[in-house]
């Protein structure tokens, strides 16, 4: 069988804008996070998944996501629930009035 020469022009370029690169811009999914996720799924270990989640969540605090730019405070769930129920009740009453449904 004859030996074929390798055509250098046929090689695909490496990369793209979103590819992880050593010493490049930071990505949430990098070799460390992917390795933790692979270990967690292959070995079915929840502890490894928690390590993966901690790595990803810590990165969001480093302004890698829009959510990481905000700070959230915990509210009493009863206050939030009461407000949500009041809003839903008002919206439902308005919809019933518009469609003519008796309450």
Q: Where are the domains of the chain?
A: 27-71, 73-103
The pLDDT profile of the chain, 103 residues, written as one tens digit per residue, is 666 666 666 666 666 666 777 887 777 788 888 999 999 999 999 999 999 998 888 876 677 777 777 777 887 666 555 555 666 667 767 666 655 555 4
N- to C-terminal Cα separation, the chain: 85
Our CA dihedral for 67, 69, 73, 75, rounded to 10 degrees, sits at: -30
DSSP 94: H
Listed in sequence order, the DSSP H helices in 18-63 are 31-43, 46-59
Q: Are 48 and 36 in contact (CB under 8 A)?
A: yes
The pTM assigned to this predicted structure is: 0.47
């Amino acid at each position: 069988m004859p030996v074929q020469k390798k055509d250098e022009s046929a090689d695909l370029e490496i990369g793209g804008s979103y590819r992880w690169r050593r010493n490049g811009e930071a990505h949430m999914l990098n070799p460390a996070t992917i390795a933790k996720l692979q270990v967690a799924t292959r070995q079915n270990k929840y502890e490894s998944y928690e390590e993966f989640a901690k790595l990803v969540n810590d990165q969001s605090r480093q302004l890698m996501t829009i959510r990481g730019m905000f700070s959230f405070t915990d509210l009493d769930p009863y206050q939030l629930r009461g407000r949500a129920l009041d809003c839903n009740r008002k919206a439902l009453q308005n919809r019933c009035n518009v469609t003519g449904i008796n309450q």
